[in-house]
Structure 1
Amino acid sequence: MKNLVFIFFLLFVYSLSFAQTKNSLYINVKDCRTKKQSYVSPNFSLYKDNVLIRKVNLKNQNSRIFTDLEYGEYKLEYYTLFGSETLTINISKNNNNQVIDLCIDYLDYAAQNHKPIIDKLKNEESYSILVESSGCFYNNEEKIIITKKGNAYYLKYKKRKKKLKEKELIAIRHFEIEMIIISQIYFCTTVDTYILTYNNEETVFIDRGCEWKGFYYLKQELNLE
């Protein structure tokens, strides 16, 4: 009888130990430009010790929970609007149930090998961004002109003129970097054509996607909407 009680005790201790090493990871996909859930449904690949343990297609969902995970370091591979990204996640006793918000609009700008036109401008020089949008039932055209005067930058949009703040300069730089990447992927019935003109030279980028909406969000960052 004593042996039977001892065996049950060992099984109880083992079950507690096993339960304590099983944890959960909740993944939530967002478009962080809007703070809302994303309509993009990326695939996830979850690795532990460089071994694939879960592969998930969210389809039309915006979240997924991984359960029964052991302690350790995990790598989560997923896709944003601009390509693949890898996130390292550590699950430990002090951090065993995690909620991760993934931004589908995330991009490591510092890692991109591109110098935006705004950083090439000399004193009294200007360049323009012309956006032509076309779809099944509409056509639209908008234009922004940016001019450097001394150490300051000025913007002209329709009848509005304004001096650009530092955070707005950053938004313009990010917009151009994103545009270069997004023009290489996606397909949609709506087509946005971006024409950058500097020193009488035109550079054309075409966005055939429906998710980026780069110029729309740039206008918000510049308070033009």
Structure 2
Amino acid sequence: MFIVLLTYGYSAYSQNSLSINLIHCKTDNDSNFGFDDITIYRNDSIYKTLSFKDFTYLENIESGIYKAKYKTFFGENVSKEIVIPNKEGNSSIYEMNLCIDIMSDSLAKRNLNLAFNRIENGEKINLKYTFSGCFNSGKDSLAIVKKKGNLYLIYKNRKRKIKRSELVFLINYEKELRSVLPVTFSSTGGGINTLEYNDEIYSLPEPSSFWSGFEYLKEKLRLK
């Protein structure tokens, strides 16, 4: 749980405002789609319920401890607090940024029977991403093979050994891929993430590319 405080401005009367923003904290993706409403509490009592949109501005709010409870892409119920102090005669604007793309340590430690933890010598894992939109479409993919106990990355006909630090990014990608909640909305653009391992195929439709997990993985693997 975090407590943040940001103030500026002045006027003769106290007219505090609070902006609440749903943001991607790992990427600069601005497609913020949620899975539930945001519940705002003031001093532990429900203050307001907001539809899950990317920006909300509350005006003329009183002092107190405000808490936002919301759900991330991975179905976790998360809360964040901000203190609005009582400053008579001041008008202040406060900001609360809610990360929707961060997985908690407790969720990450679940046993998901990951392919990257089971891959044997001579086996391969394929990661594919196909996308389409109003003005463009395409596909991208990378493969991981295991040989003599080592993992190798194959991307655009180039092959290199995977470092131990890079394996963490691959494992985190699969954890998130298998944990992102299915969405009910549709979009004219988006993509499909697919993981293939032996006879296993796991796919995640991604309208509006709201998760951006494949692009984030490419960045961490220095493929961009």
Secondary structure class of the residue paired with 2:166: helix
2:26 aligns with one of 8, 33, 44: 33
Q: Partner residue of 1:174?
A: 172
| AA matched with 1:143 | S
Does the aligned pair in 1 maintain the 2:38–2:70 contact within 8 Å?
yes
- Consecutive unaligned residues of structure 1, counting only runs of 5 or more, are 1-18
CA RMSD of aligned residues (A): 3.6
Q: Partner residue of 2:204?
A: 206
1:138 Cα shift? Answer: 4.8
Q: How many positions carry a matched residue from both structures?
A: 200
- Consecutive unaligned residues of structure 2, counting only runs of 5 or more, are 1-12, 86-92
Q: Partner residue of 1:106?
A: 102
Q: Calculate percent identity across the aligned residue pairs.
A: 27
1:111 Cα shift? Answer: 1.3
Structure 1-normalised TM-score? Answer: 0.68
Q: Which has the higher contact order (CA 8 A, sep 6+)?
A: 2
Larger radius of gyration: 1
Distance 1:102 1:88, change over 3 A: closer
Q: Partner residue of 1:195?
A: 194
C-alpha distance after superposition, 1:154-198 (max 9, x if no partner): 210112222223342222222222223446214223353333222
After TM superposition, the structure 1 = structure 2 runs for residues 72-221 of structure 1, keeping only pairs within 5 Å, are 75-83=67-75, 85-89=77-81, 91=83, 99-108=95-104, 110-111=106-107, 113=110, 114-135=112-133, 138-150=136-148, 152-182=150-180, 184-185=182-183, 186-199=185-198, 201-210=199-208, 211-221=210-220
Matched residues in 2 for 1:49 and 1:115: separation?
Answer: 42
Bigger proportion of residues as helix: 1
1:54 aligns with one of 48, 51, 69: 48
Matched residues in 2 for 1:92 and 1:131: separation?
Answer: 44
Structure 2-normalised TM-score? Answer: 0.68
Distance 1:164 1:58, change over 3 A: same
